[in-house]
């Protein structure tokens, strides 16, 4: 049950059938969640998805939501026959509110999940707990709990296919020719500067800098363009408080503009 002034919202959805989506329960009039069971791919992986549907005017956040957003956290504890999971985030929107920027989704998002079983011949029992922020004029944290047993071949789901088609593209396909980065001291620690040599993607390009090592915090980036070079700077630090150790191969830079997204991985010193 949802109450207007509660600061924690919980949704529990259980499904035992692999042939039908997990039935959704509504969080008041704000949020619905369901697990789309999807299909088994030729590689033996299973392609499923989490679908979040939001009421008009509400939004939730991308994996890197900006300083004004709430980053989602997902746990797979309790799953069985699960070797690994890869989240395939579709291209998000950029929001501006009261002079602040955040990145996420409005109305609906289908988040594809590539599920790697330990044994492709056996069913996968999937349990997920997803902590996320949902915002309108105020923000509240929500917890979505979903479960389903995935077995058999299944069949391709058009909603999942559309979300897979909305993935960010490789920036090199848009003409990226170089990605250079350098660390510099800043008043609060260290700063990472990134230069992308690529044609403009459109007006109001937004640059998101991330690392894939799981132990590095990167702030919202400030960016500007000069000709063919799109430059961005962000604060960077270790999450565990230890001295920063930056591996250039873990860098992921996403450029958002005009409803499109392009990603670049790794960088050269300079």
> What's the CA gap between 107 and 55, in Å, rounded?
6
Q: What is the pLDDT of residue 28?
A: 63
Residues of the chain with pLDDT under 50: 1-26
Contacts of 165 (CB under 8 A, 6+ apart): none
Q: What is the pLDDT of residue 97?
A: 85
Phi, psi of 74 (to 5 degrees): -130, 135
> What's the CA gap between 129 and 76, in Å, rounded?
7
- Return the CATH class of domain 9-165: mainly beta
> What's the CA gap between 107 and 222, in Å, rounded?
28
What is the SS3 assignment for the chain? Answer: CCCCCCCCEEEEEECCCCCCCCCCCEECCCEEEEEEEEEECCCCCEEEEEEEEECCCCEEECCCCCCCCCCCEEECCCCECEEEEEECCCCCEEEEECCEEEEEEECEEEEEEEEEECCCCCCEEEEEEEEEEEECCCEEEEEEEEEEEECCCECCCHHHHHHHHCCCEEHHHHCCCEEEEEEEEECCEEEEEEEEECCCCCCCCEEEEEECCCCEEECCCEEEEECCEEEEEEEEEECCCCCCCCCHHHEEEEEEECCEEEEEECCEEC
pTM for this predicted structure: 0.86
Does domain 169-269 bear CATH number 3.20.20?
Answer: no
Residue 128 CB neighbours (<10 A): 22
> What's the CA gap between 123 and 117, in Å, rounded?
8
Query: What would the pLDDT profile of 58-71 be if each residue is shown by its tens digit?
Result: 999 999 999 889 99
User: Domain limits of the chain?
Assistant: 9-165, 169-269
> What's the CA gap between 123 and 6, in Å, rounded?
37
> What's the CA gap between 243 and 189, in Å, rounded?
10
Residue 229 CB neighbours (<10 A): 13
Count CA atoms closer than 13 A to 59's CA, side-chain side: 23
169-269 has the same fold as 9-165: yes
Which tokens in the block code for residue 32? Answer: 């619905």
> What's the CA gap between 98 and 115, in Å, rounded?
39
Q: What is the pLDDT of residue 186?
A: 84
Q: What is the pLDDT of residue 188?
A: 72
Cα maximum dimension of the chain: 56
């Amino acid at each position: 049950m949802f109450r207007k002034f509660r600061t924690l919202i919980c949704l529990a959805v259980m499904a035992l059938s692999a042939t039908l989506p997990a039935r959704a329960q509504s969080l008041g009039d704000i949020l619905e969640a369901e697990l789309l069971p999807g299909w088994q791919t030729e590689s033996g992986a299973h392609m499923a998805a989490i679908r979040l549907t939001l009421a008009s005017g509400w939004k939730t956040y991308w994996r890197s939501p900006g300083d004004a957003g709430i980053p989602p956290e997902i746990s797979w504890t309790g799953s069985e026959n699960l070797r690994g999971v890869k989240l395939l985030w579709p291209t998000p929107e950029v929001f501006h509110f009261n002079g602040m920027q955040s990145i996420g989704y409005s109305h609906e998002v289908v988040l594809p999940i590539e599920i790697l079983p330990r044994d492709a011949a056996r069913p996968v029992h999937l349990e997920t707990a997803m902590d996320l922020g949902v915002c309108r004029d105020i923000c509240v944290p929500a917890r979505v709990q979903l479960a389903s047993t995935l077995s058999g071949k299944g069949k391709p789901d058009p909603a999942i296919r559309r979300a897979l088609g909305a993935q960010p593209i490789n920036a090199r396909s848009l003409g990226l020719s170089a990605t250079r980065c350098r660390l510099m001291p800043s008043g609060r620690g260290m700063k990472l500067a990134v230069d992308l040599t690529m044609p403009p993607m459109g007006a109001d390009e937004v640059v998101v800098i991330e690392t894939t090592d799981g132990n590095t915090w990167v702030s919202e980036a400030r960016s500007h363009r000069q000709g063919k070079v799109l430059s961005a700077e962000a604060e960077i630090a270790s999450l565990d408080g230890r001295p920063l150790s930056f591996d250039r191969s873990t860098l992921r830079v996403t450029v958002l503009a005009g409803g499109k997204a392009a990603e670049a991985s790794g960088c050269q010193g300079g």
